[in-house]
Amino acid sequence: MEIRILRKQGKGVRAIARELGCSINTVRKYAERDEPPKYGPRAPRPRKTGAYEAYLRERVAGAHPVWIPATVLCREIRERGYTGCERAVRNFVRGLKPVAASDPVVRFETEPGRQLQVDWIEFRRERLSAFVATLGYCRASFVRYVTDERIETLVACHIEAFEFFGGVPREVLYDNMKTVVIERDAYGAGIHRFHATLWDLAKHYGFQPRLCRPYRARTKGKVERFNRYLRHSFHLPLVTRLRASGLRLDAQSANVEVLRWLGHVANLREHAGTGRVPAELLSAERQALQPLGEPYRGALRRAQPRTVDASRVIPIATLPAKARIVLPAQHDLAVYEALLTEAA
């Protein structure tokens, strides 16, 4: 309509095209028409995700009420022959369940080699726990599946994490778990009474245990964020895939799969917080980590069974009467019932 009005005002085709920001051919096309064109709905174009939409719907419905990220689903259908981009998968999955925006979290950055954040994740349905350790600078992470959270298991997981990273940080940040701290502020403000075995491990490797503020899990937000990533991008997709085949996840199988996932996916992705690949930054942070030194054996020792020297055993019959322990005779229950009757 604007083209027809400007044309009636005597303006030329080029002047109208410059004023309206369109091409000359467009001006000529609509200036010659008495009525504006009418357009019908476009025919749906075939999408690259079309052949995999049934699979995506089935995966999302099978994992309900948990949510599988689009990155995981895209990786799964690529193994089935999908050649499109991840954005197409994300747009399709968004229609199945919109993703709620997370609250922004301000994280404190640390220099290389300074801090390691440690946490447990419980998977109650599988009766498993995961020890998770994340370096504060490079964001590289280590995961170990276990069947309990005892102090011996915690120490063994620390040793494996230090060997995985190739060194020891100057401090390790925990929450207030009983296998780490016995009493907060026991010796003054900020001076806590740590578990004796953990304190011995810290002295051996030369790191300082640190505690989060009570009821403030975001203090160790780097490992908390990775916990969510581990649960939704690795654990739940693996469990639902095994469940569909009638199998159950155990610690041994989980550790084999999680090491492969760490090496090929988690530590090779571009981290959203740093914009860098954790594996690339880890090679630089290793230079700032403390050396491993001698392996720690303190908490891994098992008490040896005590043996009794038969030559030092004295038969009871040879002891004098005063040295013997005489137990009172036990009467029949009827005797006690009779005494109660007389007392009544």
pLDDT in tens, 128-163: 999 999 998 999 999 999 999 999 999 999 999 999
Spatial distance between the Cα atoms of 344 and 341, rounded to a whole number of angstroms:
5
Report the b/e string of 261-295 with b at 16+ CB within 10 A.
Answer: bbeeebbeeebeeeeebbbebbeebbeebeeeeee
DSSP-derived 3-state class of residue 215: coil
Q: Is the pLDDT of residue 215 over 50?
A: yes
Q: How far is 171 from 137, CA to CA, in rounded Å? A: 13
d(CA 206, CA 165): 15
3-state secondary structure of 129: strand
Tell me the per-residue pLDDT of 71-114, one tens digit each, with 9 for 90 and over. Answer: 999 999 999 999 989 999 998 888 887 555 554 555 567 899 89
For residue 319, the Cα-to-chain-centroid distance in whole angstroms is 65
Tell me if 17 sits within 8 A of 23, measured CB to CB.
Answer: yes
Which helix (H) or strand (E) segment holds residue 160: the answer is helix 151-165
Distances (CA, A) of 149 to 130, 145, 153, 154: 9, 10, 6, 6
Number of Cα atoms under 13 Å in the Cβ half of residue 340: 5
Q: Which helix (H) or strand (E) holds 130?
A: strand 128-135
Q: Which of 146, 193, 291 shows the shortest CA–CA distance to 133?
A: 146
Strands 181-183 and 193-194: antiparallel
Q: Mind giving me the DSSP string for 66-110?
A: S---HHHHHHHHHTTT--S-HHHHHHHHHHHSPPPPPPP------
Confidence grade of residue 298 (pLDDT, cut at 50, 70, 90): confident
Q: Is the peptide bond before 65 cis (omega within 30 degrees of 0)?
A: yes
Give the Cα separation of 286 and 277 in Å (integer): 15
Q: CA–CA separation, 300 vs 298, rounded Å? A: 6
The pTM of the whole model exceeds 0.85: no
pLDDT at position 290: 93
Higher pLDDT, 191 or 324: 191
The rounded distance, in Å, linking the Cα atoms of 320 and 286 is 71
**Does the structure show a pLDDT above 80 at 217?**
no
* pLDDT for 307: 43
Output the average pLDDT for the chain: 81
Q: Backbone phi, then psi, for 88, in 5-degree steps?
A: -65, -40
